[in-house]
Amino acid sequence: MAYKDEKLNEEKVFKDPVHRYVHIRDRVIWDLVGAPEFQRLRRIKQLGTSYLTFHGAEHSRFNHSLGVYEIVRRIIHNFEDRPNWDPNERLLCLCAALLHDLGHGPFSHSFEKVFKLDHEDFTQEILLGDTKINAILSKVENGFPKKVADVINKTYHNKLVVSLISSQIDADRMDYLQRDAYFTGVSYGHFDMERILRVMRPMEDQVVIKESGMHAVEDYIMSRYQMYWQVYFHPVTRSAEVILSKILHRAKELHETGYEFSLKPTHFLSFFKEKPTLKEYLELDEAVAMYYFQIWINEQDPILSDLCERFVNRRLFKYIEFNPNLQMNEWMELYRLFNKAGLNPDYYLVVDSSSDLPYDFYRPGEEEERLPIHLLMPNQELKELSRQSEIVESISGKKRTDHKLYFPLDRLEEMSNRSKTKKRILEILYG
């Protein structure tokens, strides 16, 4: 029997708190799960620094990847025998779903920003390079790794296949919303996924939703909106991200100026220079990064040491709301005062904006900006979701953005009460 058709003698199941069970019958999928590049995802947290806000949020990209695979498996099961669905694409969809996050690095967001990396490039490299994952996919058929890479890169010719993994209502989002809600313990993020799966219909180049399922999709859109503001963009998590970014900036700056670290930061060296090789990239997971942060607490450099101590022991920056238009002069004065107070403003006075953590709100796709969610009407016509749903229209029409100013209040409080600098800083910050 060809490798691509090989089935396990008995179905393997993973117990899963979100989907109850993840079912694996294909030999290929089972082998991929066992590959070291996939097992590495156990050591990358799904929500980065959110565990410092929501103590339960310690789940990994491994959990999520299995969840996305399971959702796609169920969608495909529902699609069997429906028009527009090509059953020959089944294994490709399952592999792409399982492997879509393969290139994520430690604390992806901050690392990518500071070192100007893109995890999607590394996903492609893992799929197409000299890796165990590539060896397994290559056994399926010639060119199969490239097909999986194209689906994940959204450049595969069959757009229906792409839309299962990546569209405005896809398996990726349906898993992470529910999983993140479960592990953070919040009550948002829940929606009737079973209902959505039942009303999904394959069309030529996208998945659409039967009009009768509109209310289930409204719930899904609402949960996306609420999870963003309540979990993903939580101000305390943003404070942790700010500190983490500053740690990485400081370590890089010190390295570039010839500073002698007490422990040579071997795993970071290639990140400091240019783009790390795939091997170097894969070797730096979150456990390794946290090891360095712990060690750097004892570094001679007071800024690196302080920032690491803050991150490891959750001594985060405080924040105030900030309007860069109305408060530009105040910001410039604060910058001067922080310098005077001996607090380097490049590390201790940080403006963080909502665009620093992009999260895709539902977009109705006006002017072909991006493909919206389409409802399949009883007369077989397609209608854009927000044109039919007032709830979705009100959310997608609202442009809520936000800017916060982060700073170490504890360091300011330590200053003498007679200090005019302290008095003025606090006056500007708190009025």
Partner 1 sequence: MLENHAKLMHFFASSDEIIGRKKLQKIIYILKKCDVPFEDRYQFHFYGPYSEELTLRIEELCNLGFINETREEKKNYYQYRYRLTDAGKDFLNHYQVEFPDIGEPVAKMKEKSSRFLELVSTMLYFEHLPREEVEEKVFTVKSKQNYSEEEIEEAWGFIEEIRHTTH
Residue 318, number of CB atoms within 10 A of its CB: 16
Residue from 353, 381, 410, 420 in contact with partner 1 (CB under 8 A): 353
**Neighbour-count burial of 138, counting CB atoms closer than 10 A to its CB (0-12 exposed, 13-18 middle, 19+ buried):** middle
Q: Which is nearer to partner 1, 60 or 110 (CB)?
A: 110
Nearer to partner 1, 296 or 317 (CB): 317
Q: Which of residues 353 and 394 has its CB atom nearest to partner 1 in the complex? A: 353
Distances 347 to 9, 118, 119, 242 between C-alpha atoms, Å: 57, 24, 26, 9
* Interaction of residue 82 with partner 1, rule CB under 8 A: no
State in angstroms the smallest separation of the CB of 115 from partner 1: 13
**Of the candidate residues 324, 381, 410, 413, the single one contacting partner 1 (CB under 8 A):** 324
295 vs 357, beta carbon nearer partner 1: 357
Residues numbered 406-425 forming contacts with partner 1, rule: CB under 8 A: none
With binding defined as CB under 8 A, does residue 336 bind partner 1? no
Shortest Å distance, C-beta 149 to partner 1: 12
**Shortest Å, Cβ 129 to partner 1:** 15
> Could you give phi then psi for residue 20, rounded to 5 degrees?
70, -60
By CB under 8 A, what part of segment 355-394 binds partner 1?
A: 355, 358-360, 363, 366-371
CB under 8 A: which stretch of 75-83, 90-98, 243-251, 347-355 binds partner 1?
Answer: 347-355
User: DSSP 3-state assignment of 264?
Assistant: coil
Q: Which of 157, 198, 315, 423 binds partner 1 (CB under 8 A)?
A: 157
| Phi, then psi, of 10 in degrees rounded to 5 | -130, 140
Q: Is the dihedral of CA 51, 55, 61, 62 positive or negative?
A: positive
84 binds partner 1 (CB under 8 A): no
Facing residues of 426 across strands? none
3-class secondary structure, 296: helix
How remote is the C-alpha of 256 from its chain's centroid? 29
Burial grade of 255 (CB within 10 A; 0-12, 13-18, 19 or more)? middle
Footprint of partner 1 (CB under 8 A): 118, 120, 153-155, 157, 159, 205-206, 323-325, 328, 331-332, 351, 353-355, 358-360, 363, 366-371, 399, 401, 403
